């Protein structure tokens, strides 16, 4: 009433003990409940409150009893000196554990643990006895008919500090153990009542983790958190139980089990055996990234008992990395920590596999494979302790130096990149870095991958401390590195024509890793850096397509189409996601697009020849226009394409397409040197879905639109460009929403920051689902007629941010 009428506030504040008691014992049940719930807001003596709460635990109305018990639980935080009063409140709560109402039993559980712990603290000589008794009583509630009571019982058990080992072991077994049979009393137990309650302890945790409700299973795993350090035998039983939980249907339960295991590792109670490893490592293949991350965090601390379990863990991490390449940095970090914790095992493994991974020894494993990368990181981790450095071949540290970008990104929480590089050089002093190269038969020495290593290592090598702290030097170093690498890219074109794909990919990887050193260090030339990294991906695709075209075996249409699709998408993104191109740079990209269209026609088995020929003609016209503006002559390849198009005419019948030998035409193409513009700017977006994950989904009603709140930062997006949200619910259907960002303000063309609510109309009849959302930019150079979509973008989109997952859950009637 006072909350609705401000004039009554003063009267409530002046409520004295007599008035409070008068209202509590009045005829109105609702007033009584309200007073008990809000009693601590009044100036009532604690001793009187305690008496009132204790008295009303016998009220005939269940919600009054619940309110009284909640009040007692709240008073438990105060210091009560009277031991008889503490005991009275505790045993009253024990009685109410058998109440007929679920809400009362749930509240009684909270009072039992709160006042039970007070009772144990008040009588130190009987602390063990009372703790055992509390544990037994709470375990008896873990099989209650109410899910809330069972869950609260496990939550309460977590607060216990000491419990007898016999009772703990009994809670892990459904059958009564021999330690209880024939005993008149338990060790340190003084009442026959506790001996009877010991039967209720049987299998409490087993029932908890097998409960039908995930809330109870999660609470059961959480309840083990503090108990595992009380007994070695119990921790072993708990470990076996938690291993089964790692296969639970609920993500929250799996995460809680891993959190408890992590606490076991911190407390040195985690004793993994080979029998555990299958279930333990299965979490590395979990579909949920949080689960995989939690297990990797655990592996950083785990002490593995023997070489067999260590090898199983290593193989599990490698398989996980192959399935989830986005986890690379985290996986490499785990391998490094594992190596530091098990140096003898690392030395033994690397000694056995060195010849398989060493290119100089013609190793069986490809040097660019995930497994070799994992072995290298594992190898370089052991000598950090300065005790086994002689047992790791120095050549491995030379190989690791070529992977500096990826390794430094993974180990950023341990040491900075300069320290890592100095460490690798120090340990590779017994071998020359030039040993990394080898000369493929028939390729000039100047083009072999090894000839680039020293150049790239020089680019990535750490500068003096003074230079590291001067931003201008970092920017200058970055742009010089970019220019050097672009000149090296031009040099690998003979390798592409000769079909040395393995060597090409290795070189491109080295270039990429050298540039990634600067990713988080520069701002001035960040556009040029992002462009070069994307350009290296384009060249990787060109090399793969060219190799497939030159293959002696029959061309696989599916692989051919997939690679060409990625190449076309990448080139469109390259042209759309950067601004400030010089005419030379734009012409270079157009020539690569011309090559891509010619490659599509070179296979001879594709459809839509007219469409591709029109595109070929359009690109050639754009190149011709640029050449006239620059007053320079076209390349041989462009001349040949223009000559062929002029013979066939603007619209080419399908039969005429076959008359052209596009493979012969492509042989006239030569990759020219690309001079990067320092003024290049990267068009990108940052998209965040705030306060949304699998535990806090966005609620929706099936068939009705739902608004997705997005926090957006746009970089270098001019007001003339058109942006679209793409929302996908599965891999086949997409919804496009136009993003009109101009009225929102929030900055200039360089940086715009704002929030936007995106409507999603296609909500399905499902209890929950995941939608994926990203932002795309219309390709300004595409024709409106090419990809017209009703109600969507008229041109192809270049996506300028990473795709984000949105978790949605149906609203259920309570």
DSSP 555: P
Residue 609 confidence class, pLDDT cut points 50, 70, 90: low
- How large is the average pLDDT for residues 181-187? 46
The alpha carbon of residue 1 and the mean position of all alpha carbons in its chain are separated, in whole angstroms, by 50
- State the DSSP string of 331-389: HHHHHHHHHHH-HHHHHHHHHHHHHHH-GGGT-SS-TTSHHHHHHHHHHHHGGGGSSSG
Q: b/e per residue, 689-715, with b = 16+ CB within 10 A?
A: beebebeebbebeeeeebebebebbbb
H or E segment and range at residue 299: helix 289-299
Lowest mean pLDDT among 96-110, 397-411, 700-714, 773-787: 773-787
Q: pTM, whole model, 2 decimals?
A: 0.57
pLDDT at residue 726 in the model = 92
Least confident stretch, 542-546, 680-684, 743-747? 743-747
How far apart CA 90 and CA 115 sit, in angstroms, is 5
Burial state string for 146-157 with b = 16 or more CB within 10 A and e = fewer than 16: ebbbbbbbbbbb
Structure tokens at 574: 């390259």
CA 774, CA 757: separation in Å to the nearest integer? 13
Work out the pLDDT band at 38, boundaries 50, 70, 90: confident
Tell me if 804 sits within 8 A of 689, measured CB to CB.
yes
Q: What is the mean pLDDT of residues 693-709?
A: 88
Rounded distance between C-alpha atoms, residue 148 and residue 216, angstroms: 8
Q: Where in the chain is the domain with CATH 1.25.10.10?
A: 16-122
- In the chain, the percentage of residues whose pLDDT exceeds 90 is 23
Report the pLDDT value the prediction gives residue 149, as an integer from 0 to 100: 95
> Which range scores top for mean pLDDT: 195-199, 321-325, 393-397, 732-736?
321-325
Cβ–Cβ under 8 Å, residues 251 and 290: yes
| Residue carrying structure tokens 């003024």 | 679
Task: State residue 797 phi and psi, 5-degree precision.
Answer: -105, 140
The rounded distance, in Å, linking the Cα atoms of 531 and 546 is 22
pLDDT of 457 reads 43
Q: Is 489 helix (H, G, I), strand (E, B) or coil?
A: helix
Contact between 558 and 510 under an 8 Å Cβ cutoff? The reply is no
Alpha helix stretches (DSSP H) within 190-231? 192-201, 204-209, 214-227
| CA torsion, ordered 446, 448, 449, 452, to nearest 10 deg | -10
Least confident of 233-242, 269-278, 383-392, 772-781: 383-392
* CA–CA–CA angle 372, 375, 379 (5° rounding): 140
> Is residue 611 over pLDDT 80?
no
Residue 559: the pLDDT is: 76
Calculate mean pLDDT across residues 575-600.
88
Confidence band of 794 (pLDDT split at 50, 70, 90): confident
Beta bridge pairs of residue 804: 773
Whether the per-residue pLDDT at 427 is higher than 50: the answer is yes
Within 10 angstroms of residue 326's Cβ, the number of other Cβ atoms is: 8
pLDDT digits (tens, 9 = 90+) for 429-447: 654 433 333 333 333 343 3
Provide mean pLDDT across the span 484-510: 83
In this predicted structure, what is the pLDDT of residue 360?
Answer: 56
Q: Comparing 790 with 529, which gets the higher pLDDT?
A: 529
Closest by CA position to 256, among listed 289, 279, 223, 302? 223
Residue 104 predicted with pLDDT over 90: yes
| 142-181 pLDDT, tens digit each | 999 999 999 999 999 999 989 988 889 989 988 777 655 5
Which region among 15-19, 193-197, 666-670, 687-691 has the lowest average model confidence (pLDDT)?
A: 193-197
CA distances in angstroms from 206 to 232, 373, 448, listed in the order given? 18, 42, 62
Q: What is the pLDDT of residue 212?
A: 92
The number of residues in the chain equals 814
Alpha-carbon gap, residue 518 to 508, rounded angstroms: 16
Average pLDDT over residues 40-50: 78
pLDDT value of residue 196: 67
Please give the helix or strand (H or E) that residue 241 lies within, else none: helix 232-245
CATH architecture of the domain with residue range 16-122? Alpha Horseshoe (1.25)
Task: Return the DSSP state at 673.
Answer: P
Angle, CA 662 vertex, CA 656 and CA 668 arms, to 5°: 140
What was the pLDDT predicted at 619? 87
pLDDT at 12: 59
Q: How far is CA 445 from CA 238, 452, 459, 495, 510, in A?
A: 61, 11, 21, 11, 18
Confidence (pLDDT) at 655: 45
Confidence bin at 221 (pLDDT 50/70/90): very high
Give the 3-state secondary structure of residue 793. Answer: coil
237-251, 346-360, 374-388, 674-688: segment of lowest average pLDDT: 374-388
CATH 2.60.40.10-classified regions of the chain: 683-810
Per-residue pLDDT of 481-490, as tens digits, reads: 888 888 888 8
| Average model confidence (pLDDT) across the chain | 80
Two tokens, residue 323: 């399935």
Residue 706: helix, strand or coil by DSSP?
strand
Would you call 196 helix, strand, or coil by DSSP?
Answer: helix
Interior CA angle at 49 toward 43 and 53, to 5°? 145
Give the H/E segment covering residue 681.
strand 681-682
Which pLDDT belongs to residue 651? Answer: 45
Please give the helix or strand (H or E) that residue 235 lies within, else none: helix 232-245
CA-to-CA distance for 152 and 215, rounded, in angstroms?
Answer: 10
Q: What is the DSSP string of 716-759?
A: S--TTS-EEEEEESSSS-EEEEEE--GGG--B-SSEEEEEEEEE
CA–CA separation, 701 vs 763, rounded Å? 7
Q: Rounded to whole angstroms, what are the CA distances from 478 to 10, 220, 403, 471, 530? A: 70, 54, 18, 11, 11
CATH number of the domain located at residue range(s) 683-810 in this protein:
2.60.40.10
Structural tokens at position 148: 């809330």
Edge-to-edge order in the sheet of strand 684-688: 684-688, 706-715, 751-760
From CA 151, how far away is CA 339, in angstroms rounded? 40
Of 81-85, 156-160, 165-169, 468-472, give the lowest mean pLDDT range. Answer: 468-472
């Amino acid at each position: 009433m006072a909350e609705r009428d401000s004039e009554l506030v003063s009267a409530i504040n002046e409520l004295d003990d007599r008035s409070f008691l008068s209202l509590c014992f009045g005829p109105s049940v609702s007033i009584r409940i309200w007073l008990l719930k809000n009693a601590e807001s009044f100036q009532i003596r604690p001793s009187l409150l305690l008496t009132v709460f204790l008295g009303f635990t016998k009220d005939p109305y269940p919600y009054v009893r619940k309110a009284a018990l909640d009040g007692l639980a709240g008073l438990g935080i105060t210091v009560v000196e009277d031991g008889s009063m503490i005991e009275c409140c505790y045993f009253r709560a024990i009685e109410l554990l058998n109440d007929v109402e679920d809400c009362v039993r749930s509240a009684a559980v909270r009072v039992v643990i709160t006042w039970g712990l007070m009772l144990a603290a008040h009588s130190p000589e009987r602390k063990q006895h009372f703790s055992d008794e509390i544990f037994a009583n709470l375990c008896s509630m873990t099989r209650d008919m109410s899910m809330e009571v069972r869950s609260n019982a496990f939550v309460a058990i977590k607060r216990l500090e000491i419990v007898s080992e016999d009772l703990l072991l009994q809670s892990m077994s459904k059958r009564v153990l021999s330690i209880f049979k024939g005993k008149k009393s338990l060790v340190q137990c003084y009442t026959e009542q506790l001996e009877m309650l010991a039967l209720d302890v049987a299998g409490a945790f087993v029932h908890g983790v097998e409960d039908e409700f995930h809330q109870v299973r999660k609470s059961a795993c959480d309840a083990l958190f503090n108990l595992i350090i009380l007994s070695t035998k119990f921790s072993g039983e708990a470990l076996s139980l938690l291993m089964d939980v790692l296969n639970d249907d609920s993500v929250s339960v799996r995460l809680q089990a891993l959190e408890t295991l992590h606490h076991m590792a911190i407390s040195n109670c985690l004793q993994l055996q080979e029998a555990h490893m299958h279930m333990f490592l299965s979490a590395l293949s979990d579909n949920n990234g949080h689960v995989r991350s939690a297990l990797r965090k655990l592996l950083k601390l785990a002490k593995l008992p023997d070489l067999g379990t260590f090898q199983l863990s290593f193989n599990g991490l490698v398989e996980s990395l192959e399935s989830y390449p986005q986890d690379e940095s985290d996986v490499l970090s785990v391998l490094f920590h594992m190596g530091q914790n098990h140096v003898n095992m690392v030395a033994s493994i690397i000694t056995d596999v060195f010849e398989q991974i060493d290119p100089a020894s013609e190793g069986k494993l490809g040097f660019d494979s995930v497994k070799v990368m994992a072995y290298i990181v594992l190898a370089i981790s052991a000598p950090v302790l300065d005790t086994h450095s002689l047992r790791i071949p120095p050549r491995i540290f030379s190989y690791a130096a070529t992977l500096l970008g990826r390794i430094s990104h993974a180990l950023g929480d341990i040491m900075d990149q300069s320290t890592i590089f100095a460490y690798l050089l120090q340990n590779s002093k017994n071998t020359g870095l030039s040993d990394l190269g080898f000369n493929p038969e028939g390729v000039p020495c100047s083009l072999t991958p090894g000839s680039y290593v020293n150049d790239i290592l020089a680019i990535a090598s750490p500068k003096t401390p003074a230079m590291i702290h001067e931003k201008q030097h970092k920017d200058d170093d970055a742009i010089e590195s970019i220019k050097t690498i672009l000149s090296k890219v031009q040099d690998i074109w003979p390798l592409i024509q000769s079909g040395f794909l393995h060597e090409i990919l290795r070189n491109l990887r080295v270039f990429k890793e050298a540039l990634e050193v600067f990713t988080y260090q520069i701002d001035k030339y960040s556009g040029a850096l992002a462009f070069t990294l994307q350009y290296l991906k384009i060249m990787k695709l060109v090399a793969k397509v060219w190799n497939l075209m030159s293959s002696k075996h029959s061309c696989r249409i599916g692989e051919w189409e997939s690679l060409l699709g990625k190449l076309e998408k990448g080139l469109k993104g390259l042209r759309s996601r950067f601004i400030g191109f010089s005419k030379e740079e734009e012409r270079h990209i157009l020539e690569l697009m011309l090559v891509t269209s010619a490659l599509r026609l070179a296979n001879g088995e594709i459809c839509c020849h007219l469409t591709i020929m029109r595109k070929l003609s359009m690109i050639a016209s754009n190149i011709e226009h640029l050449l006239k503006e620059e007053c320079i002559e076209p390349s041989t390849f462009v001349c040949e394409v223009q000559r062929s198009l002029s013979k066939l005419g603007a619209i080419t019948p399908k039969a005429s397409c076959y008359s052209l030998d596009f493979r012969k035409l492509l042989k006239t193409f030569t990759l020219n040197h690309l001079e990067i513009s320092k003024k290049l700017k990267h068009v990108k977006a940052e998209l965040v879905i705030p306060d949304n994950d699998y535990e806090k989904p966005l609620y929706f009603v099936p068939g009705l639109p739902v608004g997705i709140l997005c926090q957006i930062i746009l970089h270098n997006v001019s007001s003339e460009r058109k942006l679209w949200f793409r929302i996908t619910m599965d891999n086949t259907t997409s919804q496009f929403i136009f993003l009109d960002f101009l009225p929102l303000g929030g900055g200039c063309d360089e940086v715009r920051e704002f929030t936007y609510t995106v409507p999603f109309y296609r909500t399905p009849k499902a209890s929950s689902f995941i939608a994926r959302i990203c932002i795309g930019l219309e390709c300004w150079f595409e024709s409106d007629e090419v990809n017209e979509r009703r109600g969507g973008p008229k041109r192809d989109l270049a996506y300028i941010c990473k795709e984000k997952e949105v978790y949605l859950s149906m609203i259920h009637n309570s």
